[in-house]
């Protein structure tokens, strides 16, 4: 039987999209739905609970001091790391875009850390640069200035482990956002700059502010949103750099690391409370994203 063109197009569409949707449903939507289900039950050491507790898990998590402290700290962390990552990745993209030679080389150099495993990269960052021993790179530099070696990932005050964590995160993520900005920069029509120069605009900040930045609006929205979500979902570099973070102050532990210990820790696998915490974190990310969109007016069409 000969199929019509519309039927063939429909089959081709589902042939391409179907496997992706199936994978999305199995590995994303079903786990999210199951986590929501578990959050209403006493699910200790089981994924098939039978004791319904309603909102008790949510109440326990919201009254859990360390968990609330981690949410508050990483809200501040997001306020700090999002604009810093945005500004540095945009600066890198503008700089690389203006190169007249070796542009592909520098693109690869800056993107390479993101392509590496976060686990491996964070361990390299910790053991090579901020190892805390005399011969670590950071302490070697301090020794040149006559400063004693520093235990960078220790629990002493001031909390110098934040230097390690923030620099590692920037090193790992700047290249990815730089590539997004670089692609957007290369799509800006050249005649806009030519018209600006004919109108007397000065190269540099004036052209960047009135031509480049408005043309990057759509990409800027994506970078800010991805940055915000990734800030709250920090896990790999924190877990591998700080090790067993239960020895650190509660505010130094990311929400996902705390939920990992709650749900899969040796002290009792409380999947109900862990799932409730995950839902609370997801709602916090959604609210923070909406507030960010309201502040930056993401609903306005890009120019």
Residue 112 has pLDDT above 60, yes or no: yes
Summarised one tens digit per residue, pLDDT across range 123-161 is: 888 888 887 667 778 888 888 888 888 877 766 566 777
Q: Which domains does the chain have, with CATH numbers?
A: 39-296 (1.10.3720.10)
Stated pTM of the model? 0.79
Summarised one tens digit per residue, pLDDT across range 264-284 is: 765 568 888 889 988 998 888
**What is the average pLDDT across 186-196?**
84
Residue 238 buriedness (CB in 10 A; 0-12 / 13-18 / 19+): buried
Half-sphere exposure of 55 (CA within 13 A, CB side): 4
Neighbours of 242 (CB within 10 A): 22
Find out whether the peptide bond into 158 is cis, omega within 30 degrees of 0: yes
| 3-state DSSP helix/strand/coil % of the chain, to nearest 5 | 70, 0, 25
Residue 179 confidence class, pLDDT cut points 50, 70, 90: very high
SS3 270: strand
SS3 116: coil
Summarised one tens digit per residue, pLDDT across range 6-17 is: 888 888 888 889
Residue 91 confidence class, pLDDT cut points 50, 70, 90: very high
CA neighbor of 220 nearest in space, from 189, 191, 188: 188
Q: Are 21 and 258 in contact (CB under 8 A)?
A: no
Summarised one tens digit per residue, pLDDT across range 24-59 is: 999 888 988 999 999 999 888 887 888 898 899 999
| pLDDT above 70: percentage of residues in the chain | 89
């Amino acid at each position: 039987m000969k199929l019509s063109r519309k039927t063939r197009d429909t089959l081709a569409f589902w042939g391409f999209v179907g496997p992706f949707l199936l994978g999305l449903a199995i590995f994303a939507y079903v786990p999210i739905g199951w986590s929501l289900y578990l959050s209403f039950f006493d699910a200790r050491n089981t994924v098939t609970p039978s004791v319904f507790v309603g909102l008790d898990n949510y109440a326990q998590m919201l009254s859990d001091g360390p968990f609330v402290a981690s949410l508050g700290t990483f809200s501040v962390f997001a306020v700090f790391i999002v604009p810093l990552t945005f500004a540095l990745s945009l600066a890198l993209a503008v700089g690389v875009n203006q190169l007249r030679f070796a542009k592909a080389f520098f693109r690869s150099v800056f993107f390479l850390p993101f392509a590496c495993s976060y686990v491996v990269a964070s361990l390299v960052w910790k053991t090579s640069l901020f190892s805390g021993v005399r011969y670590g790179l950071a302490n070697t530099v301090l020794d040149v200035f006559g400063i004693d070696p520093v235990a960078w990932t220790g629990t002493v005050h001031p909390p110098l482990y934040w230097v390690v964590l923030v620099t590692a995160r920037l090193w790992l993520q700047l290249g990815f956002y730089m590539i997004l900005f670089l692609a957007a920069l290369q799509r800006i029509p050249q005649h806009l700059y030519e018209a600006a120069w004919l109108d007397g605009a000065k190269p540099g900040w004036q052209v960047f502010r009135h031509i480049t930045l408005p043309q990057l609006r759509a990409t800027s929205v994506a970078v800010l949103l991805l940055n915000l979500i990734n800030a709250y979902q920090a896990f790999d570099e924190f877990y591998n750099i700080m090790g067993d973070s239960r020895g650190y102050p509660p505010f130094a532990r990311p929400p996902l690391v705390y939920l990992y210990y709650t749900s899969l820790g040796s002290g009792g696998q409380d999947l109900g409370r862990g799932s409730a915490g995950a839902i609370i974190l997801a709602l916090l990310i959604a609210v923070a994203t909406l507030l960010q969109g309201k502040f930056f007016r993401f609903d306005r069409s890009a120019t």
